[in-house]
Structure 1
Amino acid sequence: MASHSASAPVEQPAVTGPAAASPATTGTPTIADLQVRHVMKRSVAGVLADTPFLDIARMLARRQIGAAAVLDDSQRVIGVIAESDLLARAADLAIPDVPHGRFARLLGHRQQAGDAGGTAATLMTTPALTVHPWTSVVEAARTAARSRIRQIFVTDHRDRLVGVVSRAELLHALVRDDTAIHSEIVSHVVRDELHIDPEQVNVRVRNGTVTLRGTIDARLVPRLIEEVAAIPDVFEVEDHLVAH
């Protein structure tokens, strides 16, 4: 049997710690076995502490995200800067309350030549609320609920940024629908995408783990496994397929 993780490769600092070791569990994984690394996004926004206010605001608007992690020179998370941290400052800059006179003109010149609203270090919220890749989804969900935050940044054992997970993604992971996953695999992947007779493939889904059995064309085996693993709700793919 070959087991295939649904997670994409990590291009950021290698994750070490409990997540790096193979779990000593047997049988079908349950919701309690789900870890943040299974649901987090590895494409994550981070800004350096000295990043100017306007650059941060433009980046958040361009990427349509609500917050960014603030990093030191070693990529360690030292704070979080969110839209709420920027709104008041943006309003002040849009319609400034400017005094009149020569001193005001001099002050305005100095402000334009300076930080023009501050930097990530002066605007961020600290400490940053973070979790590790090996943190259970249940624990991360409780943390997010208590703090009422929209997303949590994920760090490795050295506090370096490796990902981000949102409340919606945590909720989705906790209420994943095995029936919907099964239907998507059989109807969309097997039949429509790969044009395989659904009778040739036995698909079993339990708690996000997909087990595939059957005999199909050898050229389609890796494609089928890859397509199934790419489904967001899939935790793991167990391959019992026979190639011919």
Structure 2
Amino acid sequence: MMKVGDIMTLGAATVYPDTPVLEAARLMLHHGISGLPVVDRDGRLIGMVTERDLLRRAETGTEHQRPRWLIFLMDPAARAEDYVRSHGRRVADVMTNTPESVSPDAPLTDAVELMERRGFKRLPVVRDGKVVGIVSRANFLRLLARRLEDAAQATAEDMEIRQRILDEVDRQGWASKGALDVAVNAGKVELDGIVEDERVRDAIRVLAENQPGVTEVAERLRVQRPLTQWLI
């Protein structure tokens, strides 16, 4: 079973609580990422700052615009908190203080379920409280692409192996290609069908075993002697 540590990005970019918001925004743009772990001077995870944290900003005119009646009903402390988040200049002013994280030893399914449930694009990977990497949707996409490429390559190679076996049998003239059923899956060859002699059966097995890319041969060829041989 693959674990988070198998696909995570090592050496994730991080910021400190006193890092300017401008620097955090530039880092996200530079690395093409949607969020940054916030760590203390010992590298311990204490927060997360993401694109979402920077949506409601006074500089862009997107801070909360509430009706007067709602402002009147709101707790002054809540309004003060909104003000800090939309005007704050340090990462500590805008970050999420209770970030979710995942262990590098966790199964991939744990990370996926957490990302789906909370709508996260990325998760800090933490061991002993310290950030050791990041796992993101992009990491899962890369894994998927590799698996699909491997499958496509294996299929093409298997078809080539099968054709080489059939062509060589035909060239040798030991048996008819039409009497053979050759299947190849990830380099494993299965030989089925009918041949006229045990020696032909053995030769076809050896031929298959000698093909480049073949890792295993399962031979189930049946010997059926020609009727004329029985009459002699």
Specify the TM-score bucket, using the shorter chain as the normaliser: 0.5 to 0.7
TM-score (norm 2): 0.52
| Identity over aligned pairs, percent | 26
Length, aligned pairs only = 147
Is the contact made by 1:40 and 1:163 (CA closer than 8 Å) also made in structure 2? yes
Tell me which of 163, 170, 179 is aligned to 2:140. 170
Describe the shift of the 1:124–1:96 C-alpha distance in structure 2 as closer, same or farther (beyond 3 A): closer
Greater relative contact order, per chain length (Cα 8 Å cut-off, separation 6+): 1
Structure 1 residue matching 2:134: 3-state secondary structure: strand
Three-state SS of the structure 1 residue aligned to 2:24 is: helix
Q: Separation in 1 of the partners of 2:50 and 2:62?
A: 22
Kept in 2, the 8 Å contact 1:69–1:81? The answer is yes
Matched, 1:49 2:17: yes
Consecutive unaligned residues of structure 2, counting only runs of 5 or more, are 64-86, 158-163, 166-183, 188-209, 213-232
Q: 1:47 aligns to what SS in structure 2?
A: coil
Q: Residue 135 of structure 1 corresponds to which residue in structure 2? A: 106
Question: CA–CA distance in 2 between the matches of 1:70 and 1:80?
Answer: 5
- Match status 1:93 vs 2:59: yes
Query: What is the root-mean-square deviation of aligned Cα atoms in Å?
Result: 3.9
In the alignment, structure 1 residue 159 sits paired with structure 2 residue 129: yes
- Structure 1: 5+ residue runs without aligned partners? 1-32, 98-115, 189-197, 206-213, 217-244
After TM superposition, the runs of 4+ consecutive aligned structure 1 residues lying more than 6 A away are 185-188
- Name the CA distance, whole Å, in 2 between partners of 1:167 and 1:121: 25
Q: TM-score, normalised by structure 1?
A: 0.50
Distance 1:179 1:61, change over 3 A: closer
Equivalent residue for 2:150?
A: 181
Paired with 1:128 and 1:145, the residues of 2 have a C-alpha distance of 15
Secondary structure of residue in 1 paired with 2:33:
coil
Report the structure, 1 or 2, having the larger helix content. 2
Indicate how the Cα distance of structure 1 residues 75 and 57 shifts in structure 2: closer, same or farther if over 3 A, else same: same
- Equivalent-residue separation in structure 2 for 1:74 and 1:125 (angstroms): 19
Please say which structure displays the higher CA radius of gyration: 2
